Every structure is written in structure tokens, then in C-alpha cells.
Amino acid sequence: MQRIKLGKSDLEVPVICLGGNVFGWTMSEADSFRQLDVALEAGLNFIDTADVYSRWVPGHQGGESEAILGKWLAKGNKRSNVILATKVGIEMGEGKKGLAPAYIEQAVEDSLRRLQTDYIDLYQAHKDDEHTPLEETLAAFDKLVMQGKVRHIGASNYSGARLAKALQVSKDNGLVSYISVQPQYNLVAREDFETHLLPVVQEHTLGVIPYYSLAAGFLTGKYRSKKDADGKARGGTVGKYLNDWGWNVLRALDEVASAHKSTPARVALAWLMVQPGVTAPIASATSDQHLTDLIEATRLKLDHASIQKLNTVSTPAVAAKA
């Protein structure tokens, strides 16, 4: 599997990142272990999770995904073969949220314990915390890197302006700097990243690991009508795409997939992998077919005409008219 440097770091990652949000949510522990084994065997060893996964499930506290990953890592001494990314900042309970130094110090210890490891390859601010000065947050991350508990840091859900400011704060204060950003970016959600974040990414040579790469499953083609989304775990999330514009995007995906003897999911990921700035799209898999699509997407080379067709049908200007 092709590998690429994550920003200016020494991390060489595969061109697809396996999303861990489904572990302990829509996938059992046993199925998660099996999927992780297959992914690792295929060379897909970059895994992204977060401390808050999957707190939204009734009866869960958060940390379920990390705990499953930790058990899997402990089986067969896999840690040195995995590039592990997790996140901090979204509420985990009373007083457990944000990017204040004291909370980061507590949260990283909790994540390390659940993951059964003594270091995290990429520790990411899950979302911006405007109540905590950037200097304090970055100093806390700097301390973790100096201690060897974290190798690199990244940002998720930052605006372009705040990301640029954070990078300047690191430079001005001699602190560790974000090497990557994790934005929402896919064929049907382009404008924010391309307009506000991409210029910062390119100026500072950051890695980009987009989440919702398949638009919560919409770009797989599984939602062909509003009825298809009714009662589904992510039915509400995809609702904004269930319109004429969204159907046109799916139609173009179908046409390109047919021409390449492929699937809409593979085409959507292949398109994303060749977009400026993108390092490794994050995608989750809840079945063997989904995982096969992720692996095969890394081998799919789209021709210029196919890329242009997808660019045109999904352009933000077209979406705005829908």
C-alpha cells in the first residue's frame, strides 16, 4: 500500500486511515478485532479514534473505542506496527472537556491506559477551545511531547484563521506545532475546507486527514431515497444530501464506478486522495465489503475526465443552487 509523509513529520502513513469510531458502537469487540487484523495484514495500519467514542450510545461512558483498540494492540505485541491517532477535547462528563492544560494532562493518561500503550503517535485537539488561550493548550501539548507520551500533535475542527493563529503561537513561543488537520471534507462537503483551510495547509505543509470521507455513508450509494435513511444510525446526518444535487453526485459516482469496474465508495475515496493537500482520508468499515472498498480504493487510479466530472457535479456553486 502506498505511503506518504504526514505533513513535515517523520510519520509515513498509508493513503487511507481506518476510522475507529465504530469500534464498540456498530461493531462488537470480536468483529473489531477481526477487522483490525485484516486491515493490518493489508498494510492499513493508520488508525484514528478519540476518547469520546462512543459516548453517544446509551449506557456508554466514552473510551469504548480506545479500550477495544488497547485490547487488540496487546494481543500479539502489535503496537510497533501501528500508527495510532486519538483526540481530546469533546465532553467526556462533568468538567471533562476542552483544552485546558490540567484536563489535557488527565485525558492523555486516561487514553494511554485504555489504549494500553505508553505513547500516542498523533494526539489531536478534537475541536477548538476558545476559552483556553492557545499558548496554554500548546504548552500542555509541548510538555507531553517532551515527556515522550505523544510524538506529534494535530488539530481537528479548527477554522482556517484559528489554525493559522495556533501555528504562529507555536512559532513565536518555541512550542511544538500542529503537523496535521482533520476537517470534514468529501465530494458533497467541499467549500469550507477548500476556501478556508487549504491555503493554511499549503502554506505550512500540513497533513490532512479528512473525516466523513464518505459523507456518513451517502457516497457509498446506500441512501438512494429518503426512505433508505429512515431509522438508520446516520440517517439524520445524510439528510442534507437527499436532494436533486445529491442524487446528481451519486449518478456521476455510478457512471465513473461503472467505467472503472469499481464501486461508488472506492471512487469517492480515490477522488479525495488526489485532492490538493489531502494525505489520508479517514473511513470506517462495518463489514468485510466496506473494508475491501477501503483497501481497493488505494489501488484505483482515476483518469482526468473522471476527476473533472466529479469536480463539476460536486462544485460548491452547484450545491448552493440546490
Task: Measure the CA–CA gap between 315 and 261, rounded to whole angstroms.
Answer: 25
Q: Is 53 a catalytic residue?
A: yes
Q: Is 130 helix (H, G, I), strand (E, B) or coil?
A: coil
Peptide bond into 54 cis (omega under 30): yes
Cross-strand bridge partners of residue 186: 189
Q: Are strands 12-14 and 3-5 parallel, antiparallel or unpaired?
A: antiparallel
Task: Measure the CA–CA gap between 268 and 185, rounded to whole angstroms.
Answer: 11
Length of the chain: 322
Tell me the DSSP string of 132-178: S-HHHHHHHHHHHHHHTSEEEEEEES--HHHHHHHHHHHHHHT---E
Q: How many CB atoms neighbour CB 242 within 10 A?
A: 18
**Residues acting as catalytic residues:** 53
